[in-house]
Amino acid sequence: MIRFIACVLLAALVSGCALTEDAIPVKYSAPANISVVPGAKDVTVSVTAADGRVSNRDRVSTKKNGYGMEMAKITASNDVVAEVSQAVQTELASLGFNVGPGGIAITVQTTNFYNDFKPGFWTAEAVAEVAFDLTAKRQDGTLVYSRSYRSVGVNKDVMLMMGEQAAPALTAALRDAVQLVVQDTNLHQALVQSGTKPKIATLPTS
């Protein structure tokens, strides 16, 4: 009888939690040991954030009950659009590029930042996706580079589909998506070629 009452109370507690909104921090943690891009020190870039999400702008996930039904929303306690942009800026600086006004203008437009819980037979998975478009232009508006980046993060074997379980998946997806920028040698080359000041030839002196 006592065990039955305990199970009922636990079920009621979980149901109550599922109806309460969660707010979680989703922060970027930069890996160490990044190699500097040759010529990057001669290039200045500025990074601007933009929100291109067409859905789920008011949340980063949604709680679900044991039947897979959506319950209360899960929000981020920080600005995730700004977090993505700042993470890209941090990594470009780590690669050796100068960050400041007057150089190549980079826009980082977040198109998705969301975790979806996938209920299983015994446990569930938190599956998060972070995606953004990066556009780099010269000061005159000439396009230098454009590409979309996307990554998925997974938190396996979760018992409760709530904010605490969504956070690791979102953090992993953010980290891996930004690392695609670090690994994009075509982007690095385009920035160096477009941002490096041409050397002025000097006439030989007699």
In-domain check, residue 112? yes
Domain of residue 179, residue span: 39-195
Average the pLDDT over 91-107 and give the result: 96
In-domain check, residue 17? no
In-domain check, residue 22? no
Q: Which residues contact 140 (CB under 8 A, 6 or more apart)?
A: none
Average the pLDDT over 122-147 and give the result: 97
With the C-alpha atoms ordered 55, 58, 63, 69, is the resulting torsion angle positive or negative?
negative
In-domain check, residue 18? no
E strand segments, the chain: 22-24, 44-51, 61-64, 70-76, 98-99, 104-119, 124-137, 143-158
In-domain check, residue 80? yes
Which among 87, 94, 1, 4 is positioned nearest to 40, based on CA atoms?
94
Q: Taking 50 as the threshold, does the pLDDT of residue 69 lie above it? A: yes
Backbone φ/ψ region at 68: left (φ over 0), alpha (ψ -120 to 50), beta: left
What CATH number does residue 91 fall under? 3.30.160.150
Q: Taking 80 as the threshold, does the pLDDT of residue 163 lie above it? A: yes
Least confident of 91-105, 145-159, 172-186, 188-202: 188-202
pLDDT band at 206 (very low <50, low <70, confident <90, very high): very low
- How many domains would you assign to the chain? 1
In-domain check, residue 48? yes
Residue 178, both tokens: 């930004």
Instruction: Give the pLDDT score at 193.
Output: 96
In-domain check, residue 203? no
In-domain check, residue 30? no
Which among 165, 204, 163 is positioned nearest to 23, based on CA atoms?
163
Which among 76, 62, 51, 55 is positioned nearest to 19, based on CA atoms?
62
Burial class (CB in 10 A: 0-12, 13-18, 19+), 70: middle
Residue length, the chain?
206
